[in-house]
Amino acid sequence: MEEILQQIANCIEFGKTDKASPYPPDMKGMDGADELTRLALDNGINPSDILSQGLIPGMEKIGIKFRQNKVFVPQVLMSARAMNLAMKHLKPYFRSGEVKRKGTFIIGTVVGDLHDIGKNLVSMMVEGNGWEVIDLGIDVKAEKFIAAVREHTGSVVGLSALLTTTMVNMESIVKHLRDEVPGTRVIIGGAPVTEGFREKIGADFYSSDPQGAVEYLNGLTE
Ligand code: B1M
């Protein structure tokens, strides 16, 4: 059992989606995350173990390598694709409640801002670490964040911005969230955002990369 979970973790880490994929070259012809997750379930391995001992360790490793500049956006996207294929097999167990998520994370790029590549990476990394992610997309107004938090009580909110002209919109979103749904935790990030800015607007956490957001979220569950 441990061996197959280790193989799944490797597929996630190295972006081996399925047998047909020629990437990475040294895993060509081998089963990928898709086949191995199906095989693990067919062999009676608990879906929670597949998540916690296969998918999550693989995503953690790629997150750390990305932080250390040992891999770049394309590799992370391949890992996320492998993770999505594995997740497809686990979805029924999430729906039935047999596999529990760590919590819900609502993310969006703030109003006025159309950049979504960084936001998508954060979203994939957080999902791969066992959280349910509700991605509100780009150009998201405070009202939409508030409605989502009301629908998913206790969720954590993530705000992304790439422009100096739109990061300022984070301030009013945080303020509205504080007024409307007190106690909601807010993480902010994006190239122009800084720790000093976080302090100024009163958000709970600033992360310069996806891994920091994952570590903060996981810390909330301890
Ligand atoms: Co835009 N753009 N852009 N652009 N664009 C930048 C950001 C810019 C720095 C380019 C430049 O001038 N050198 C500049 C901003 C200047 C500033 O404000 N300081 C700029 C500009 C000016 C503009 C327009 C105004 C251009 C124009 O039309 N005149 C316009 C604005 C449109 C709008 O949003 N209203 C515009 C448009 C676009 C495109 C649509 C063409 C395209 C976006 C496509 C898309 O996202 N789907 C685009 C792109 C691609 C860029 C650059 C080239 C790349 C951004 C990117 O995706 N980086 C960018 C220049 C650059 O960075 N080299 C630029 C890769 C991504 C992985 O990094 O998003 O930083 P990033 O995410 C990181 C971290 O920041 C962090 O994790 C990610 C992974 O490490 N992170 C979080 C992000 N969100 C987080 C949230 C968290 C935690 C961490 O917690 C919640």
What was the pLDDT predicted at 222?
Answer: 86
Ligand 1 atom index nearest CA of 207: 88
Q: For 186-218, what is each residue's pLDDT tens digit?
A: 999 999 999 999 999 999 999 999 999 999 999
Q: What is the pLDDT of residues 11-67, one digit of tens each?
A: 999 999 999 999 999 999 999 999 999 999 999 999 999 999 999 999 999 999 999
pLDDT of amino acid 148: 98
**Which pLDDT belongs to residue 96?**
87
pLDDT level of residue 3 (50, 70, 90 thresholds): very high
If we measure between CA atoms, which residue out of 64, 55, 75 comes closest to residue 128? 55
Distance CA 85, CA 34 (A): 5
For residue 115, the CA-to-ligand 1 centroid distance in Å is: 5
Q: What is the pLDDT of residues 36-51, one digit of tens each?
A: 999 999 999 999 999 9
For atom 77 of ligand 1, the residue with the nearest CA is: 209
The terminus-to-terminus CA distance of the chain in angstroms comes to 27
Res 94: pLDDT = 82
pLDDT at 133: 96
Question: For residues 92 and 143, what is the distance between their CA atoms, to the nearest angstrom?
Answer: 31
How high is the pLDDT of residue 91?
86
Q: What is the mean pLDDT of residues 127-149?
A: 97
Measured by CA distance, the residue closest to atom 12 of ligand 1 is 163
Check whether 119 has a pLDDT greater than 90. yes
Averaged pLDDT for residues 98-109: 95
Position 1 pLDDT exceeds 80: no
Tell whether ligand 1 has an atom less than 6 A from the beta carbon of residue 158.
Answer: yes
Peptide bond into 210 cis (omega under 30): no
**Please, what is the average pLDDT of the chain?**
96
| Strand ranges, E, within the chain | 104-109, 132-135, 156-160, 186-189, 205-206
Task: Tell me the two tokens of residue 184.
Answer: 């909601």
Q: Cα(53) to centroid of ligand 1, in Å?
A: 34
